[in-house]
Amino acid sequence: EAGVAQSPRYKIIEKRQSVAFWCNPISGHATLYWYQQILGQGPKLLIQFQNNGVVDDSQLPKDRFSAERLKGVDSTLKIQPAKLEDSAVYLCASSLVQGIADEKLFFGSGTQLSVL
């Protein structure tokens, strides 16, 4: 079974530039998550999709971050314009069914973003 695919693996940009990350979840997984992980910290949830609808985006900085999952499958996360404090690893995760006790999240390897 293929895992969660993310690209690019690394990205270096200058502040005020824009950047986009792509995620393809495990086939058949209805729920998709984007997490931000700053060095030395645990991952922090940015946004959660159920199919192509947003379930939780309470911690997404909406003035600069946006995300979409148009056909309920793959997803993109965009930052425009980037700030120095956005330097982090952006992790995508998916799960088969959301909200059950046995829900297991499967994570991709992430995109490491450096903002200079």
Pairing of strands 106-107, 111-115: unpaired
CA-only gyration radius of the chain, Å? 13
In the set 45, 64, 73, 96, which binds other proteins (CB under 8 A)? Answer: 45
In the set 15, 16, 62, 104, which binds other proteins (CB under 8 A)? Answer: 104
- Rounded to whole angstroms, how far apart are CA atoms 94 and 109? 12
**Least distance from other proteins to the Cβ atom of residue 84, Å:** 22
- Give whichever of 20 and 45 is closer to other proteins, judged by the CB atom: 45
Q: Which residues pair with 37 in a beta bridge?
A: 89
Q: Which of residues 62-91 bind other proteins (CB under 8 A)?
A: 91
2 binds other proteins (CB under 8 A): no
End-to-end Cα separation, the chain, in angstroms: 37
- Give whichever of 43 and 115 is closer to other proteins, judged by the CB atom: 43
| Contacts of 68 by beta carbon, 8 Å cutoff, 6+ apart | 75, 76
Q: Which residues here bind other proteins, judged by CB under 8 A?
A: 4, 33, 35, 40-45, 48, 55-56, 91, 93, 98-102, 104-110
